[in-house]
Structure 1
Amino acid sequence: MSALARQRQQAILDQVRRDGAVRVSALVEELGVSDMTVRRDIAQLADRGLVVRVHGGATLADAPHSSFEPEFRTKLGEQREEKLAIARLAATLVPPGSSVALSAGTTTLALAEQLREVPDLTVVTNSVPVADALHDPERRDRTVVLTGGTRTPSDALVGPVAVQALRDLHVDTLFLGVHGFSERTGCTSPNMVEAATNKAMIAAAGRTVVVSDHTKLRLVGLSTIVPLDDVDVLVSDSGLGAADRAMLSTHVGRLLVADVHDAGADAEIPPTAGGHA
């Protein structure tokens, strides 16, 4: 590690110890470095057990964090370019005439916007914003089914009503947004009831496609939704490092990487030994 990196990380650690938490956006301005550099520093501090990564920043290692659930409007403004690139790539997995499920989330909302032009589409969702994005009375070839349920801070409809609505449905593909994903805990949610609803969506789908930007790697929520080994496709972005891509490709069926800066350079990481076919 370079001397400059050590100095940055010490400054970040000092601020976390002083204030209890830090935000990536504030550190970018204070340290005069890129968003990716700050996130890398935080990840290295987290690997040493000194801080815990949370959505948009870091907290003390012993601070409660796994049940923290950011509001939908807060997440909407974060990693917008990454989410758009992921959505564009994920949309190529949806042929005309498909039936798909979209979980709640800002990345799945970005995907919904990309699916507007797909003909003969049936969509099942527990997200009011996703349903609104796809609602068009003039499109008689599109069906949008919105589950009922109790609304969460992330604008998901969850609970027994949502689970019951999903129980007898069968869709080709589920596009699942997650709070975080890691090799140890799989894909997680800070809300146990939302995790249970997402599991019902997985049970209703022929395949599960997780859409999640690189900043959520190693973030851990309270409840596991699905292990990485049970994910058919993971669509993330080019912020993933080479080592992380190699690790993920040994677990998920397919790893698709959306290039944030060049939409024409999207890449697929083929399964390696130990990965799915």
Structure 2
Amino acid sequence: MSVAETRRKKIMALLQKHQSMAVSKIISQFSYSPATIRNDLKVLCNRGLIVRRHGFAAINSSTVQASNENFSDRTMKFHDEKVKLAHAAMKYIQSSECILLDASSTCYEIAKVLNKEPLRLTVITNGLMAANLLKANSLITPILIGGIVNGASSAVEGLLGLNLLTKLNIDYAFLSPEAFTLDKGLTDFSIYEVQLKQQMVKYSNKKIALISPDKLGHNSLATFSEADQIDQFIIAQTPQNATQITSIFQDHPHLHYIVV
């Protein structure tokens, strides 16, 4: 991540904490020039992450609402496509492996499929719903990553569970971002979620990205994985995004993807 993006992430952390701050107060928190910070605020505003008015900057409430959307509501969005993504992911999973599922509603669909399969697995996850579901399967050993519990997203976030990731040999990590573009890679809004997912990418042998139609062609706050760090993209195709998928990947033959 560039110095500028790291700085903008810190600005967003401030605004997430305080909701609204005077621009002069934000500037005073950093050892950069006022012009640099004002430019960062302009960039964040153009991305739709914050709003600016009368010398103040504030979190864009519509963006925050989307990022903290109730988990059960998220499972209903593009549900059929997420089920297809989950079934496509199954071809990469074999018995006796250690896999990782993030806390996304898409990976929850993978957990639902796994729960019905006769596979002996270790499943690491920061998803409360996935861990709770898989605990009933005697063939599966679910391991919940420790950290800060986000009730809205039913996720465990932050780096408190990092030591766990360093000690296990993870065969496959299945990751679903809040947004994806080739330019910014896989992105998420929650800084704590981004921090944890960056470590998931680092300590997993193979990375599989699951992209539902609402994630394609958008950017969120911070990148947790560059596109070329992903071993396989699985993308849900609809009549509306078929051309978009082709245009994104046609000039990048080194990126492996399938559509479902």
- Shared fold per TM-score greater than 0.5: yes
Is the CA contact (8 Å cut-off) linking 1:66 and 1:221 kept in structure 2? no
- The residue type paired with residue 163 of structure 1 is L
Quick one: which of 142, 145, 148 aligns to 2:143?
A: 145
- Residues 188 and 161 (structure 1), Cα distance of their counterparts in 2 relative to 1, 3 Å cut: same
Is the CA contact (8 Å cut-off) linking 1:86 and 1:236 kept in structure 2? yes
- The residue type paired with residue 256 of structure 1 is I
Identity %: 21
Q: What SS does the corresponding residue of 2:92 show, helix, strand or coil?
A: coil
- The residue type paired with residue 158 of structure 2 is G
Q: Matches of residues 75-154 of structure 1 in structure 2 within 5 Å?
A: 75-116=74-115, 117-136=117-136, 139=138, 141-152=139-150, 153-154=152-153
- Residues 157 and 252 (structure 1), Cα distance of their counterparts in 2 relative to 1, 3 Å cut: farther
Q: Matches of residues 193-232 of structure 1 in structure 2 within 5 Å?
A: 193-232=192-231
**Which residue of structure 1 aligns with residue 29 of structure 2?**
none
| TM-fit CA distance, 1:243 | 4.2
Is the CA contact (8 Å cut-off) linking 1:228 and 1:251 kept in structure 2? no
| TM-fit CA distance, 1:246 | 4.4
- Residues 118 and 196 (structure 1), Cα distance of their counterparts in 2 relative to 1, 3 Å cut: farther
| TM-fit CA distance, 1:212 | 1.8
**Structure 2: how far apart are the matches of 1:126 and 1:251?**
32
**Structure 1: how far apart are the matches of 2:162 and 2:109?**
24
Residues 78-124 of structure 1 deviation map (CA, whole Å, 9 limit, x = unaligned) = 11100011111111111122110001010000011111214111111
Quick one: which of 232, 256, 259 aligns to 1:257?
A: 259
TM-score, normalised via structure 2 length: 0.70
| TM-fit CA distance, 1:162 | 2.2
**Structure 2: how far apart are the matches of 1:233 and 1:118?**
24
* Structure 1 residue ranges without an equivalent (≥5): 1-50, 259-277
Give the number of equivalent residue pairs.
200
| TM-fit CA distance, 1:154 | 1.6
Residues 193-240 of structure 1 deviation map (CA, whole Å, 9 limit, x = unaligned) = 111101111122111001121221122111101111111111111223
Which has more helix, going by share of residues?
A: 2
- The residue type paired with residue 245 of structure 1 is T
**Which residue of structure 1 aligns with residue 185 of structure 2?**
186
**Structure 2: how far apart are the matches of 1:72 and 1:228?**
26
**Structure 1: how far apart are the matches of 2:86 and 2:183?**
26
Q: What SS does the corresponding residue of 2:136 show, helix, strand or coil?
A: coil
**Which residue of structure 1 aligns with residue 242 of structure 2?**
241
Is the CA contact (8 Å cut-off) linking 1:190 and 1:222 kept in structure 2? yes
**Structure 1: how far apart are the matches of 2:81 and 2:169?**
30
| TM-fit CA distance, 1:173 | 0.2
- Residues 246 and 125 (structure 1), Cα distance of their counterparts in 2 relative to 1, 3 Å cut: same
- Residues 52 and 161 (structure 1), Cα distance of their counterparts in 2 relative to 1, 3 Å cut: closer
**Structure 2: how far apart are the matches of 1:146 and 1:165?**
10
Q: Provide runs of 4+ in structure 1 moved above 6 Å.
A: 51-54
Q: What SS does the corresponding residue of 2:93 show, helix, strand or coil?
A: coil
